[in-house]
Amino acid sequence: MPLSLYVDGTRWREHLTRTAAASPGLVPVAKGNGYGFTVAGLARRTEWLGVDTIAVGTYREVAEVEKRFSGSILVLEPWRPFLDASMSSRVIHTVGRREDLAALAAREDRPRVVLEARTSMGRHGLSSTDLAAAGKAARGVRVEGHAMHLPLGEGHRTEVERWMAAAPAQCWFVSHLTKTELDGLHERHQNVDLRPRVGTGLWLGDRGALIARATVTDSHVVRRGDRVGYQQRRINKGGHVLVVSGGTAHGIGLEAPAAAASNRQRAVSLARGGLEATGRALSPYKIAGKQRWFVEPPHMQVSLVFVPAPVTPPPIGDEIEVQVRFTTTIFDEMHIS
């Protein structure tokens, strides 16, 4: 029985087209669990949006998009000689080391590359000296632009300007700049093509269009003192134990309910398969208007949730709302209206 994602199609598509129209040069990012929609689903949407480039996280994801999207595919993970990298002419490689640039340039087919700056993220990329030198002297490759991946938040201006001055390029692929920051950059650098790479703000930017629902697969009356579950925990109040779809395989229990006070701690303790200190954890399942407590940590594909008396539990087969984090949830089904 499924954990399902319901999408208000009209509202979602409107948000996508509005975002694309407001972000010239937009490069939609489709990676990982596809922000809940699967990478393949996002590839089809990107084709529908009519942009010329999509970004994927890894080379493994190229195969999932190339049949569904007809434009260029920027791979965000840096090219390495040991990766099984597609060398299709539709693929744009991200380069973050001098030796990788040399290896790509030694090929006959002039691969398309983006040269990445090692920003304050400190994840991958060339130093500013190397980036400037590589940008000027690159032979044997087609440089499509430079790239910077910035930490979340605001206040990127100084860093962005520093990179643009140190390693000038006709085109910059940028990540995690705010609309205001982008507008400012457009204004100050009218001859530079800015290409924002956006995932969350695009696919999940209108949360109201998305709703996750689980199915009630079973329901049992419990009395105070009964023991249930793998851990045979004692129930300390009468009510019902509901078995609902969604378990660790879906990413349930990895996410913390948005409204909980100690979000992070709860996420950490649940991710380890334990419960918080009190022995209970608030589940992401909403029943009769309230998030309910887990009886014990989620199982592989279902969770046990406690509904105290006198609340009438929903009947078996009904769907209930789940508060999920879309980037860590794998849905069984997706319904787009």
Ligand X SMILES: *Cc1c(COP(=O)(O)O)cnc(C)c1O
325 lines the binding site for ligand X (CB under 6 A): no
Which of positions 63-92 make contact with ligand X (CB under 6 A)? 76
Token representation of residue 263: 């979000």
* Nearer of residues 174 and 216 to ligand X, judged by Cβ: 174
**Min dist. Cβ of residue 29 to ligand X (A):** 4
- Residue from 113, 198, 256, 324 touching ligand X (CB under 6 A): that is 198
Q: Which stretch binds ligand X (CB under 6 A): 66-74, 196-204, 232-240, 259-267?
A: 196-204
**Min dist. Cβ of residue 77 to ligand X (A):** 8
* Nearer of residues 283 and 327 to ligand X, judged by Cβ: 327
**Min dist. Cβ of residue 53 to ligand X (A):** 13
In degrees, to the nearest 5, what angle opens at C-alpha 75 toward C-alphas 70 and 80? Answer: 135
Q: Which stretch binds ligand X (CB under 6 A): 98-106, 161-169, 191-199, 262-270?
A: 191-199
| Residue among 293, 284, 287 nearest 325 (CA) | 284
Token representation of residue 1: 């029985």
Q: Which stretch binds ligand X (CB under 6 A): 132-140, 180-188, 197-205, 280-288?
A: 197-205
What are the angstrom distances between the C-alpha of 8 and each of 112, 150, 154?
38, 31, 31
- Residue from 197, 240, 250, 325 touching ligand X (CB under 6 A): that is 197
CA atoms of 59 and 163, how far apart (whole Å): 27
List phi, psi (to 5°) of 154.
-115, -175
* Nearer of residues 251 and 298 to ligand X, judged by Cβ: 251
135 lines the binding site for ligand X (CB under 6 A): no
**Min dist. Cβ of residue 43 to ligand X (A):** 15
119 lines the binding site for ligand X (CB under 6 A): no
120 phi-psi bin (left φ>0, alpha ψ -120 to 50, beta other):
alpha
Q: Which residues does 241 contact at the CB level (< 8 Å), separation at least 6?
A: 219, 220, 222, 228, 235, 295, 304, 305, 306, 307
- Residue from 34, 41, 199, 298 touching ligand X (CB under 6 A): that is 199
CA atoms of 292 and 308, how far apart (whole Å): 9
**Min dist. Cβ of residue 310 to ligand X (A):** 43
Task: Show the beta-strand stretches assigned E in 62-209.
Answer: 72-78, 91-95, 112-116, 142-149, 171-175, 193-198
**Min dist. Cβ of residue 193 to ligand X (A):** 17
CA atoms of 325 and 92, how far apart (whole Å): 30
* Nearer of residues 94 and 245 to ligand X, judged by Cβ: 94
- Residue from 71, 168, 201, 308 touching ligand X (CB under 6 A): that is 201
Site string for ligand X, 14-43 (x = CB under 6 A): ---------------x-x------------
**Min dist. Cβ of residue 11 to ligand X (A):** 20
175 lines the binding site for ligand X (CB under 6 A): yes
Q: Which residues of 164-184 are buried (b: 16+ CB within 10 A; e: fewer)?
A: beebebeebbbbbbeeebbee
Find the residue with minimal CB distance to ligand X. 199
Token representation of residue 159: 């860093």
| Residue among 243, 256, 260 nearest 302 (CA) | 243
124 lines the binding site for ligand X (CB under 6 A): no
CA atoms of 113 and 279, how far apart (whole Å): 52
- Residue from 68, 149, 195, 325 touching ligand X (CB under 6 A): that is 149
* Chain residues that interact with ligand X, rule: CB under 6 A: 29, 31, 76, 149, 175, 197-201
